[in-house]
Structure 1
Amino acid sequence: MNAPQRQRSTRDRPAKAPLSENAVVDAALAILKTDGLDAVTMRRVATALDTGPGSLYVYVNGREGLLQAMQDRVIATVDLDPVDPTQWRTQLHSLLARMHGAFVAHPGIAATAMTTPPRTEAALRLLENMLGILLAGGIDPQRAAWATDVLAALVTHAAVEDDVRRTDDVGGELHKTFTGLPADRFPLITTHAAQLVAGDGEQRFRFAVDVVLDGLLAGSAA
């Protein structure tokens, strides 16, 4: 006869890693990477951590708080540089490109940042660096302050657009739409359809930043 098998004791199981805000955010970001932002729910994160959803509320204030913590983690990955007035424009382009890259690497997070004012340490340090670079470029304080909002909005919008472009051929679809319009009613759109959809996300983003900076410099000089 076969000897009865002993049921596995809970003591034999590997000990679960202790819960913490970092562990919760790590699990949420892993789900984001594999399944997208909609899949990041309190229940899904709790399952990944082998716990109940209620236990997560000790570390984050519901899903909204979880998304805020994820956003803050992403923003904290953006490297900041000491301000150099001799190359402020290059520095600003580089900072904004790093912000854009961080959001693109975490699809969906940019959309959560569009309506979130900077309140956390990471967000405030980023704002401080951006404002310092603009002031070093000779932009007057009020224009520089407003420009931080405009530039942050450009970054998040460009990242959201990149999220869409990653899954859909937006340029091709728009070009087909534009060239299919009646030329007698939309002569300029049909003639310049190629120019309207030209450029990848990086080129269009850099152009948008340069337009803002040129306007700031002209306004400050006036």
Structure 2
Amino acid sequence: MGKLTAPAIVERALEIGDAEGLDAVTIRRLATDLGVTPMALYWHFKNKEQLLIGLADHLIAGFAPEPADDRPWQQRLRGLLEGLIGVLRGHPCARNVLEQVSQTSVPRFLAVWDEALGLARSAGFSVEESCLITKYLLQSAITIADAPVHYQPGRTAEEVAEIFRVKRLELESLPAGRYPHLVEMAGPMVSGTPGLYDTFGVDLICAGIEALAARR
């Protein structure tokens, strides 16, 4: 292969992490897959901790704020939330990566965090409120990306359909007199619409922040 680069190492680590989990991502495994010696990788990442920081930085790169962004704060804050959800949804190992690294060690995460704090302050929130908003945004993104069973990778269409069927029947079999709304909404409660799940969740979080800002 050509000259070994840090991006090539990170890309392969991400592929392994998504397919097999982060425990499978080791210097020795990466060296074998990339056709080099472990020492060649140590030139770029001295240990797994540094590799995970590189992974986190690479993941965040896709939606880190652009300089001189003059969009309204509402649009920019929404973009950060949607970007983080996209990363978490697109890479099964992303949440694990972000939870295992020190956030202050990831330059692009710091940029996103700083951007979110600044946007909250520009919306009229206090320092303490702005700190809380950024924490809520991160946890909301994780919650939205931790989607129902129909988002889980590795399931066949038949398996998903059967899961839907069983769960729907469980709800439809409840006493309608006692749980009328659960019985009525059994179908959408179980399966729902993947696109709506994400967009409505983002709308819900952002609308709450905007409503609070309007009261300032």
TM over 0.5: yes
How far off is 1:27 after superposition? 2.5
What RMSD over aligned residues (CA atoms) do the two structures have, in Å?
3.3
Question: Are residues 1:216 and 2:209 paired?
Answer: yes
Question: Is the contact made by 1:93 and 1:206 (CA closer than 8 Å) also made in structure 2?
Answer: no
Deviates more, 1:39-48 or 1:123-132: 39-48
Unaligned runs of 5+ in 2: none
2:117 corresponding residue in structure 1: 131
2:138 corresponding residue in structure 1: 152
Q: Spell out, residue by residue over 1:44-73, the C-alpha distance to the aligned partner (whole angstroms, 9 max, x if none).
A: 211012234465445435444433321211
Q: Spell out, residue by residue over 1:20-56, the C-alpha distance to the aligned partner (whole angstroms, 9 max, x if none).
A: 53342132134346x3435433332110122344654
How far off is 1:123 after superposition? 0.5
The alpha-carbon distance between structure 1 residues 61 and 164, as it changes in their structure 2 partners (threshold 3 A), is farther
2:200 corresponding residue in structure 1: 207
Kindly provide the amino acid, as one letter, of the partner of residue 37 in structure 1. G
Question: Is the contact made by 2:49 and 2:101 (CA closer than 8 Å) also made in structure 1?
Answer: no
Aligned residues: 205
Deviates more, 1:123-132 or 1:48-57: 48-57
2:59 corresponding residue in structure 1: 74
Question: Is the contact made by 2:144 and 2:201 (CA closer than 8 Å) also made in structure 1?
Answer: no
Distance (whole Å) between structure 2 residues aligned to residue 175 and residue 115 of structure 1? 36
SS, match of residue 78 in structure 1: coil
Question: Are residues 1:179 and 2:158 paired?
Answer: no
Q: Spell out, residue by residue over 1:137-175, the C-alpha distance to the aligned partner (whole angstroms, 9 max, x if none).
A: 333332222111111122233334279614343982543
Question: Is the contact made by 2:81 and 2:141 (CA closer than 8 Å) also made in structure 1?
Answer: yes
The alpha-carbon distance between structure 1 residues 67 and 174, as it changes in their structure 2 partners (threshold 3 A), is farther
SS, match of residue 147 in structure 2: helix
1:37 corresponding residue in structure 2: 21
Q: Percent of counterpart pairs with the same letter?
A: 25
With normalisation by structure 2, the TM-score equals 0.73
Unaligned runs of 5+ in 1: 1-15
Question: Is the contact made by 2:60 and 2:84 (CA closer than 8 Å) also made in structure 1?
Answer: yes
Question: Is the contact made by 1:118 and 1:127 (CA closer than 8 Å) also made in structure 2?
Answer: no
With normalisation by structure 1, the TM-score equals 0.71
Kindly provide the amino acid, as one letter, of the partner of residue 26 in structure 1. E
Query: What is the correspondence of 1:2-151 to structure 2 with a 5 Å cutoff?
Result: 17-32=2-17, 35-38=19-22, 39-53=24-38, 56-60=41-45, 62-81=47-66, 82=68, 84=70, 87-114=72-99, 116-119=101-104, 120-151=106-137
Distance (whole Å) between structure 2 residues aligned to residue 153 and residue 65 of structure 1? 24
Question: Is the contact made by 1:41 and 1:63 (CA closer than 8 Å) also made in structure 2?
Answer: yes
Distance (whole Å) between structure 2 residues aligned to residue 197 and residue 213 of structure 1? 25
The alpha-carbon distance between structure 1 residues 163 and 122, as it changes in their structure 2 partners (threshold 3 A), is farther
The alpha-carbon distance between structure 1 residues 176 and 183, as it changes in their structure 2 partners (threshold 3 A), is same
Structure whose alpha-carbon radius of gyration is higher: 1
